[in-house]
Amino acid sequence: MTPATVAPLLSVSDLRKSYGAIRAVDGVSFEVMPGEIFGVIGPNGSGKTTMFNSVLGQIRPNSGTVALQGRDITGLSPLALNHRGVGRTFQTLQVFGKMSVRDNLLVAAQEHKGSAWGRLFSPGDSGLGAKADALIEKFRLGHVAHQRAGELSYGQQKLVDIAMAFMSEPVLVLLDEPCAGVNPSLVGGISSLLKELNREHQGSFIVIEHNMDFVMDLCHRILVMVEGRVLAVGTPTEIRRNKAVLDAYLGN
């Protein structure tokens, strides 16, 4: 597998999004390769989430293109992207607090299939129940599977949130701060889970995180955003040694 023969999974080209005078995303280009775990770091307000939302159809970019497996997906709705195998987690929790952990996963999958809520409780669940149970097991949520998600600890809810993104067997998952607010003892567990899911399914992930140890350990390559622009892209080792990154962000 030489780089020249492998086509990128995701190509983002000259993406721009402004809010009035604020250039939140100011000409961002990058590629994510199949099977790659791609980190996005940068100071607060540097445009990471806006870039995510522009890629994911949550907001419409002012200009630029996004292509998945060579096909233009710019401006497609989150649901349309979900059908093409793109999943996400949000910076803030998106679990349904009054539903059980297992039902949260089932609803996430139903959303992907675009079918009615009623099917959730129909006898033939097209293997979704088994898939939910497998993820519950993998995320070590078995003991709380039938508990309301809202009753769980914040860290456990975060795990449910992440598991939900994997119900649709996505080719690409975008995770916005999977470790935010999570007890440090759980951070290593989240990292191991993501590595395992990446190994097993060969899916690609884009991960925004402020936890530098987590990003450096997990990601194959890292993009550094500052003031809406790409300051650098490289391996963790390259990023750690990059003078511009050290000056502008890592602060050494």
Ligand X SMILES: Nc1ncnc2c1ncn2[C@@H]1O[C@H](COP(=O)(O)OP(=O)(O)OP(=O)(O)O)[C@@H](O)[C@H]1O
Q: For binding to Mg ion (CB under 5 A), which residues are involved? A: 48-49, 91
| Residue 53 or 242 having the CB closest to ligand X | 53
- DSSP classification of residue 42: -
3-class state of residue 168 by DSSP = coil
Assess contact for 63 and 89: CB atoms under 8 A: no
Name the one range near ligand X by CB under 6 A: 44-52, 112-120, 134-142, 182-190: 44-52
Q: Which does 198 bind (CB under 5 to 8 A by kind): Mg ion, ligand X, none?
A: none
Measured distance CA(223)–CA(85) in Å, rounded: 22
| Residue 25 or 159 having the CB closest to ligand X | 25
Name the one range near ligand X by CB under 6 A: 39-47, 67-75, 124-132, 193-201: 39-47
Measured distance CA(113)–CA(82) in Å, rounded: 9
Min dist. Cβ of residue 45 to ligand X (A):
4
Site string for ligand X, 48-87 (x = CB under 6 A): xxx-------------------------------------
Measured distance CA(243)–CA(143) in Å, rounded: 47
3-class state of residue 233 by DSSP = strand
- Return the closest-CA partner of residue 179 out of 207, 137, 139: 207
Q: Is 191 in the site for ligand X (CB under 6 A)?
A: no
Min dist. Cβ of residue 111 to ligand X (A):
24
Q: Which residue among 11, 28, 36, 46 contacts ligand X (CB under 6 A)?
A: 46
Counting residues that bind ligand X (by CB under 6 A) gives 12
Place of tokens 């399914």: 201
Measured distance CA(132)–CA(174) in Å, rounded: 20
Q: Which does 42 bind (CB under 5 to 8 A by kind): Mg ion, ligand X, none?
A: ligand X
Name the one range near ligand X by CB under 6 A: 47-55, 74-82, 138-146, 165-173: 47-55
Phi/psi for 42 (5° steps) reads: 155, 160
Contacts of 184 (CB under 8 A, 6+ apart): none
Q: Which residues bind ligand X (CB under 6 A)?
A: 19, 22, 24, 42, 44-50, 91
